[in-house]
Amino acid sequence: MIVNKSMFPIQTGFGVISKMQDRFATLQMQLGTGDKASTLSEMGRDLPMSLSVRSRLAKIDGFSANIETVKLRLSFLDKTMSRLDAIEGEARNSAVQGQYGTNNINMATLPSLSKARLDEVVTLLNSDVAGRYLFGGANTDSAPLPDTETLLNGQGGKAGFKTVVSERKAADAGLDGRGRLASSQAVGTSTVKLSEDGVHPFGMKVSTISTTSSSVTVTQPTAGTLPLGKEVGVTFAIAPAAQIVEGQSISMGFALPDGTETQISLRAVTAANATGAVDEFVIGADAETTAANFKTTLDAKLVQVGKNVLAGASTFAAAENFYNGAGEPVLRVQGSPATATALRVADETDTIMWYSGQSPSVAAQGLGRLGVSAATDTVTLTEKAPVSAKHGFQISAVSADTANIDTTYTAADPSSVAVKFNSVPVAGEAVDVTLTDPSGTSRTVKLTAVVGKAGPGQFVIGADVNSTAANFSTALTSSLSEAAATAQGNPRLSVTAQVDDSTRVPYGIEANESGLLRMMRTLSSLSVETYPDSDTSSKDRFDTMARRQQSELSESHNSEAGSIEILTMELAVAHNALDNSAKRHTDYKSQLDNLLSDVETVSKEDVAMEIMALQTRLQASYQVTSMVSKLSLVNFL
């Protein structure tokens, strides 16, 4: 019988022992670290899962970092908006018409308080978080506004707000301070006419006229003789028995440059009862003399209105010109102010630009600087004057696909186009208006004639050309408003943060949005006005400015797009979106961490038990192998 080691494969035993030793070493590492493997190559078939989970966790960490950064910015914006809202309330209540304070203290302190608030607003709008400016839309690397002194006083030869105000006041007052209005009385007549001195945006515009006397005939505003603007007439009855009676009055209404209205009322008095008040005229011996007295009083009253109500309106009109809103240029008086007939587009070479942040070149308000008017059978579309190539829509062309409608414009410069209805169009016939924005993007507004109710892009065919033109005008206005709103976009989207694979949270703010713009205009206007006791117009001007400030900062504007309240609400929505995303990421990360733990880590208890079992096997293997390695015939026997 042959007995030798070939019956016991020692090499195989050594291999098994070696593998058990490797496994023992791996288990010791797992017991010490809790990790399943020390290198990626040791992960085996768990490697793809591990890499996938880790990649997702890295993305979540990136999103979470974005969320924390944006939360910091939103927290800052929230505090800023709260302060701006408080300043708005303080300003609204700081000046009340008729409340001048002891020794006129309210009038004396209002300018300095307004300037202090303006300075704080400018500082808030120019503040930054870690070098990032938050009120310039996507322009985050520089302050969106100049400092307060530069805004008000200008710099380096460039005009500031005060210069623009002085020009506008002079343009609105005119050479004689009567608001660009002139009265006249033909010799030997009892008629007084009041005319605007031209067709332009300056001064007061006559809007209404009325009288309480049956002895006076008034002529409502009509177009005056060119180049004059509108005019009204007052004719006193010639018959002695029909003379105006004491106490009866004549009233006129005027549109002011800032869009508000004012009214004057002149009362008839007898010579015996005349007090010399600026709003009373003496009944003369005849109608011609009464008319002359009325004209004298009217001129004096217009000068008074020019010093107070008109002056305040001019300041606010200048604020609208200087503090331009989205899609509007900065405007200044063209030529000699007192006789000017037009505004011009200012530029950076001669005027301080108050806002240098991101801003849309076309705004929904004002139809993108376009105007629509209808007269009988013709609808006219015009660009707002002064035309600016950098702001608003420019008209490129207009066309109609039917002989029932004529379209006319100057191809070289179609700043005004006309659509004339020769006859009632047929359903399906259309008019196309092509517009171009300052970026060069073109869009076509198409309006199609329909019978019955009109939808978007349609106008109703009327009973005749006039009613059809009116319907077309309404539809064109609506379509232009929609086109302008689309072109303007949402300021919130100027800055967004990626918080998920398919979610971006918008939180951009532009300092020229309506609520912030109202504060800049109002506080600046009140900063440059003074009310000295020596000036008899001070109280009237104070009342005018206080009334306008309360109107501009009224809570009735809270629901407007871009108001401080709407901005605050939209930022709160963004903050909630961040919180929701953060919670979602936290929950998902917890799930992924558990999954990664299952893939990459081990249970130390299970490892310890396996080590003990493996240790027993190793000891047994060592002993058997040792015995077999010594096997021989002698030992066997």
Q: Which residue has the higher pLDDT, 116 or 44?
A: 116
- The per-residue pLDDT for 1 is 39
Contact 356, 136 (CB under 8 A): yes
Give the contacts of 581 (CB within 8 A, at least 6 positions apart).
63, 67, 499, 500, 503, 505
Residue 217's Cβ-side half-sphere holds a number of Cα atoms within 13 Å equal to: 7
Q: Is the pLDDT of residue 4 over 60?
A: no
Q: How far apart are CA 421 and CA 467, in angstroms?
A: 10
CA atoms within 13 A on the CB side of 31: 14
461-469: average pLDDT: 95
The residue-averaged pLDDT of 520-545 equals 92
Res 619: pLDDT: 67
The three-state secondary structure class of 146 is coil
Residue 38 in this model has a pLDDT that exceeds 60: no
The pLDDT value given to residue 190: 95
Name the pLDDT band for 415 (thresholds 50, 70, 90).
confident
Average pLDDT of span 132-161: 96
pLDDT of 17 over the 90 cut: no
Q: Residue 545 contacts by C-beta under 8 Å, 6 or more apart in sequence? A: 95, 110, 312, 315, 525, 526, 529
Work out the percent of the chain whose per-residue pLDDT is above 90: 72
- For 564-592, what is the mean pLDDT? 91
pLDDT of residue 2: 46
d(CA 466, CA 423): 9
CA distance 123 to 110: 20
Determine the average pLDDT of the residues in 460-483: 95
397 pLDDT higher than 60 = yes
Mean confidence (pLDDT) of the chain: 89
Q: Which of 45-49, 87-91, 270-274, 580-584 bottoms out in mean pLDDT, i.e. has the lowest?
A: 45-49
Contact 566, 560 (CB under 8 A): yes
Instruction: Give me the pLDDT at residue 437, please.
Output: 94
SS (H, E, C) 177-231: CCCCEEEECCCCCCEEEEEECCCCCCCCEEEEEEECCCCEEEEEEEECCCCCCEE
pLDDT on residue 48: 76
What are the pLDDT digits (tens) for 274-295? 999 999 999 999 999 999 999 9
pTM listed for this prediction: 0.85
Instruction: Please check the confidence at residue 466 and state whether its pLDDT lies above 90.
Output: yes
Contact 502, 493 (CB under 8 A): no
Q: How confident is the model at residue 34 (pLDDT cuts 50, 70, 90)?
A: low
The helix/strand/coil state of 371 is: strand
